[in-house]
Amino acid sequence: MTKSLANTNSIKIIDLFAGIGGIRLGFQNATTRKIECVFSSEWNKYSVQTYQANYGLEVVHGDITQVHEKDVPEHDILLAGFPCQPFSQAGLKKGFEDTRGTLFFDIARILKEKKPKAFLLENVKQLRGHDKGKTLEVILNTLHDIGYKNTHYTLLKARDFGLPQNRERLYIVGFLDESIAFTFPDPTHKKTKVGEILEAYVDDKYTISDKLWAGHKRRKENNKKNGKGFGYRLFNENSEYTSTISARYYKDGSEILIEQKGKNPRKLTPKEAAKLQGFPVDFKIPVSDTQAYQQFGNSVPVTVIEAIAKEMLKHI
């Protein structure tokens, strides 16, 4: 069992599938207490570069499947933004064994071994309906079976928490202590505007070419004729919020293009992508634009994490 930290202000966390540390940052922003990250894991070398540029040159472990659960330090809260994978046997049996061969299994085996007081898991909203709900059912059954009977999940949108982005994600929170009455944070519904994250002066290299702009328009027209609603999305400083930025944003920027007077639209800059996800202006970006777009597209809305963390930390 985790050692009691009742006599200290420090909260020990581990950061799995850490990416560039968005979940960790949300927890650090949520409290004046010391958030001590005692273990982090991320396999992408470019994400590790960004992570270490912002959190110091601490050791970031690579592939979590290669780390034995006994080697993970004691901690209070496990954090993980894990990939959604199909469970080949989902629904055939129940719980822990069904998750073998998936990355959720690595979260489960660490929770089972270390029994932290709480966890926060983040995933795409599609997880809720994945495999007709069986995938989420296996996850919840597994968490219940290893001792986390006090588990809650919900969908939250970034735009409901002050970020001008229509990003909806699934959040799962669990506690070992069954007496804890946890509730997810209420949306702030603070008015948002895309202009809040836009930079005043942007290099022309972010303006898309005539060829790319023509291609975007042609695809949108074809999709419209075929009854598909897909195509580029155009926004300006007065738009309330953008669509969701994805890891593929670097390819053509089609999901979020910014209008420009007298010229083709432009992509967001990496700094704007960071702000769209709630990262601070001084967040260091030591990688190429391509890598930065992938990293922010794969990351989490920090403001939403902060709101969840505040509710969780009331009970830790």
Instruction: Give helix 289-298 / helix 45-55 axis angle, nearest 10°.
Output: 80
Q: Give residues with Cβ within 8 angstroms of 39, minimum separation 6.
A: 14, 15, 61, 72, 73, 75
Which fold would CATH assign to domain 194-296?
A: DNA Methylase; Chain A, domain 2 (3.90.120)
Over the stretch 4-24, which tens digit does the pLDDT of each residue have? Answer: 444 457 999 999 999 999 999
Q: Do domains 11-188+299-313 and 194-296 have the same CATH topology?
A: no
Q: Out of 5, 67, 84, 124, which one is annotated catalytic? A: 84
C-beta of residue 106 within 8 angstroms of C-beta of residue 155: no
Over the stretch 38-92, which tens digit does the pLDDT of each residue have? Answer: 999 999 999 999 999 999 988 999 999 999 999 999 999 999 998 766 655 444 5
- The answer to whether 84 is a known catalytic residue is yes
* pTM of the predicted protein model: 0.91
Domain boundaries defined on the chain = 11-188+299-313, 194-296
The CATH superfamily holding the domain 11-188+299-313 is: Vaccinia Virus protein VP39 (3.40.50.150)
